[in-house]
Amino acid sequence: MVGLSLVGMYLRLVNLDWGAPWYFHPDERNIASAISRMYFSGGGDPEFYAYGTVPVYVSLWLMGQMKLFFGTAQDPFIRGLLLIRFMSAWWSIGLIPMIGYIGKRYFDRWVGLVAAGLTTFTVGFIQFAHYGTFEMWLTISRVLLFWVALELVRKPRWSLIWLTMLVAGLSIGTKVTNVIMLPGVWLALWLGYSQRAHEYHFARVHLLLNGFLKSIGAMVVIVAGAMLIFGVTNPWSLGDWRIGLLEGDAQPLIEQVVLRTNELLTGAPLQWKETLSDGFVHSMNVEGGIARGEIEVFYTRQFTNTIPGVFQLTQVIPWILSVPMLLFGLMGFGWLSYRAVRYKELAGGMLVVWVLMQAVFLMSLYVKWSRYVVPLLPFWILAASVMMVQIWRWLDVLIQAGGVNRILAWVGRGAMIGLVGWHVLYGLGFSVMYLQEDSRVKAANWAARRIPANARIVSEVYDMGIVPFNSHFRDIELLNFYDLDTQDNPQIEMDIRRQMEEADVMIILSRRIWFNALKHNQEYPKAAAIYWDLLAGETEYEQVYELGGEIDLGLWSIGGEKLAEETFTVFDRPRIQIWAKPGVVRVD
């Protein structure tokens, strides 16, 4: 386990400073901006409510400790961003022994070892360890809740209930959507109390009723405590709820609660805001509307006409996990469900329940980003490990039987080793990407050598990938392709076509616009027509450069740029295309 953790540490910490000095990921830039604002102001209001504030406050506290030990030479924005990345990596590393422990304690020592090994090389954990976002916080909190739930099934006791309350509160304080895990906690309590109720010698129905009543009482304590922890760790969210829901005499009381909480957390009292127009309730409404597809934004176009469940199984999990583990996991859920029903194996049953709760939530959403699926991966890996160990034992029986069965069993074992090797090599290959120069930086440096500094350049709006080019070129115009098909204004298309005709170079920064426009050309016909003319050679432009979208390993590469969900590639290795008119690019 120690060896796997050390390997996992290297894979997750290698080039944690990727993207410097531009840091392209938009979510981590928002989080780092909130941390740096609080650092400069000395206050406790992050003015950023898309996520919970537990990681933000932890980061702010750690930055204060860094100030004591390392001074203040580094920009607080960069310091906060690297710190939140490091914590993502830390939680990702911690998953390795944690999943190994759960597998060993509740299933089998070999299940624990296999699960820890698979976790070490899982691409999703390696990728999100390099992102200063909250996905690894969510993942570790759900794994902790799962562990506590398994302990509650074995023997509910108040020490575990208090621990569950703490973990649930911090989990919800990291992101409110973690409330979806609470029904699983309640089920664990019910099962645990129903098993212990035999001490009272009731009939079976009375056992279940007794366990139900006890579980309800314990759940009230857990939920009340978790909400209190949420309020303490997200005080400005509480303030926004106060403005939206409470009036009159209750206002000064809530005001004082929030002020005192902020004093406790930051050491500096804050001035109360009369309004929080961009606060928690507003952010929840906007983010919820986007997640449900009620609010159309440019970064959700890839989900047009996609089927929940099918999309994740074909365009997310195969890439952030691996194809073999996707299949072993599916078989594992079936096997665990059978064992839970047939032999009352509650650990396996709870694992299936934990996955179903998350799956139902994911399938209720319009958006299907990879980051939403990452917290599901530990449980998928456990199911896959159970199935692999079981298959190995079945093959062992065939080997002992001898004859043709023995040959077939060894072939089966060889195939299993090969599939595990696929998973391992996939993870190792993916990590190589962080040792290579960023595709945006490499493209900008290439352009600086080949394209005149005074060339007229057009590119796409809302993409941080243009920033490295700004260092080399003075005349860059960003075209808003997103408004082409959302606004009934023919002048927008005319202006874009005119600007492309007048420019010397066009830079496509990722697949986010052109790929979705062509794939969903019925919904976005104007954008599709412009990109079709460009890619089909119907304009003066010629493609002079293309890089990114895959992991280049020299002899072979790992793709995914067109097959995977787009955020799998657009943040850390987007495919850059440079198109230029004849005579513009210098030839060595």
- pLDDT given for residue 551 in this prediction: 60
What's the rounded Cα separation, in Å, for the pair 33 and 53? 13
35-59 residue pLDDT tens: 888 877 666 677 777 777 888 888 8
- pLDDT given for residue 120 in this prediction: 97
What's the rounded Cα separation, in Å, for the pair 111 and 113? 6
171-175, 214-218, 270-274: lowest mean pLDDT where?
Answer: 270-274
- pLDDT given for residue 56 in this prediction: 87
124 and 7 Cβ atoms separated by less than 8 Å: no
What's the rounded Cα separation, in Å, for the pair 523 and 503? 28
What's the rounded Cα separation, in Å, for the pair 230 and 169? 5
How far lies 449's CA from each of 165, 401, 442, 587, in Å? 59, 68, 11, 10
- pLDDT given for residue 161 in this prediction: 94
578: β partners:
507, 545
Residue 34 in any domain: the answer is no
Per-residue pLDDT band at 68 (split at 50, 70, 90): low
- pLDDT given for residue 549 in this prediction: 63
552-563 residue pLDDT tens: 554 445 555 668
Residue 520 in any domain: the answer is yes
For residue 479, pLDDT beyond 60: yes
Residue 160 in any domain: the answer is no
Per-residue pLDDT band at 78 (split at 50, 70, 90): confident
Q: Which structural domain, as residue segments, surrounds residue 542? A: 439-580
What is the count of structural domains for the chain?
A: 1
Residue 494 in any domain: the answer is yes
- pLDDT given for residue 276 in this prediction: 38
Q: Scanning the structure block, which residue is given the tokens 């700004």?
A: 470
Residue 315 in any domain: the answer is no
Residue 291 in any domain: the answer is no
Sort strands 576-580 and 542-547 into parallel, antiparallel or unpaired.
Answer: antiparallel
**In degrees rounded to 5, what are phi and psi of residue 557?**
-140, 155
How far lies 147's CA from each of 101, 286, 387, 411, 495, in Å? 10, 33, 20, 36, 58
Between 270 and 314, name the one with better pLDDT.
314
372-412 residue pLDDT tens: 999 999 999 999 999 999 999 999 888 887 777 888 888 89
- Conformational region of residue 201, where left means phi above 0, alpha means psi within -120 to 50, and beta covers everything else: left
Nearest to 46 by CA among 304, 266, 305: 266
Sort strands 505-508 and 576-580 into parallel, antiparallel or unpaired.
Answer: antiparallel
56 and 266 Cβ atoms separated by less than 8 Å: no
Q: What percent of the chain is modeled with pLDDT above 70? A: 86
Token readout for 267 is: 């050491």
For residue 206, pLDDT beyond 80: no
What's the rounded Cα separation, in Å, for the pair 466 and 147? 44
User: Kindly report the CA angle at 32 between 28 and 36, in degrees rounded to 5?
Assistant: 170
Q: CB under 8 Å to 210, separation ≥6 — which residues? A: 193, 194, 197, 200, 202
Query: What is residue 193's three-state secondary structure?
Result: helix
Q: Scanning the structure block, which residue is given the tokens 């979510």?
A: 27
